[in-house]
Amino acid sequence: MFTPTVRGDYDPIHHDCFAVVMARAGFYESTENRFCEYGLHMAMDRRTTAAVQATAAQQPEVPFAYCRIDPGPVREQFGRMLLRIHDGCDERNCRPKLRGMQAVDPDFPPAPQPECRVPDDRIAAAVARLTGANAALLTARAALRDRHPDAARAMITATADFAAARRHRDALFLRALPGDGTVPAAVIGKFGISYREVRRLVPSLGPVMAQDGSDR
């Protein structure tokens, strides 16, 4: 059985300590177990570097470029913009174009109102839980940087709590979506979820229009 240790000197085994500790997080029954602080620091450095690199490569979000995101009823001016973005789409498979046609043509058959299948109070509770878990994780990270006693253990606990809260929020978000395959913008707003996360949870959103107007 692998037993992580706390060491300050370099040892190649510490490259994978964090993965081992995280895989076993929550299963330590003895206070004698020690967490690998070196591996934890290395993992945090790698994650920070990856996050910075990913942020630099991010493109601006254009939410209603996704064919399955339902903006709901819109005003005529916004509807015309949606029609320009989705000029080549079939309104039967493209909710933004359908909403655009509704907005510019009073005689166009109405589309159903966006549906949310989870009560607002449950959504609010899930969002509050995730917000609290994220705050605790940030506090634990700060304590780890300052090398407070037991900071590594607190970091692992906070990470596990955050992961559980996000899984709960994600599952509730998917449950809230209507059964027609669309993703209402109103539901996204209730959960306070980013469109990057929406793409992670609903990979089949539909084509994304590039800035030159072509599909990508």
- For the cut 80, the answer to whether the pLDDT of residue 41 exceeds it is no
Which pair of structure tokens corresponds to residue 44?
């945090």
Residue 71's pLDDT is what? 93
- For the cut 50, the answer to whether the pLDDT of residue 33 exceeds it is no
- For the cut 50, the answer to whether the pLDDT of residue 3 exceeds it is no
- Per-residue model confidence as pLDDT tens digits over 4-22: 444 333 344 444 454 444 4
The mean pLDDT value of the chain amounts to 77
Contact 202, 182 (CB under 8 A): no
> What is the SS3 string spanning 21-87?
HHHHCCCCCCCCCCCCHHHHHHHHHHHHHHHHHHHHHCCCCCHHHCCCEECCCCCHHHHHHHHHHCC
Half-sphere exposure of 112 (CA within 13 A, CB side): 11
Instruction: Annotate 93-105 with DSSP letters as a single string.
Output: T-HHHHHHHHHH-
Rounded Cα–Cα distance for residues 49 and 34 (Å): 26
At which residue do the structure tokens 């839980």 appear?
A: 129
Q: What is the DSSP letter of 114?
A: P
Rounded Cα–Cα distance for residues 216 and 200 (Å): 17
| Coil vs helix vs strand at 188 | helix
- Per-residue model confidence as pLDDT tens digits over 135-180: 999 999 888 888 888 888 889 999 999 999 999 999 999 999 998 8
| Coil vs helix vs strand at 14 | helix
Angle at 35 between CA 33 and CA 40, to 5 degrees: 170
| pTM metric for this prediction | 0.68
In angstroms, the Cα distances linking 191 to 52, 68, 116, 177, 200 are: 25, 18, 11, 11, 15
Rounded Cα–Cα distance for residues 43 and 87 (Å): 46
Phi (first) and psi of residue 215, to 5 degrees? -75, 150
| Coil vs helix vs strand at 211 | coil
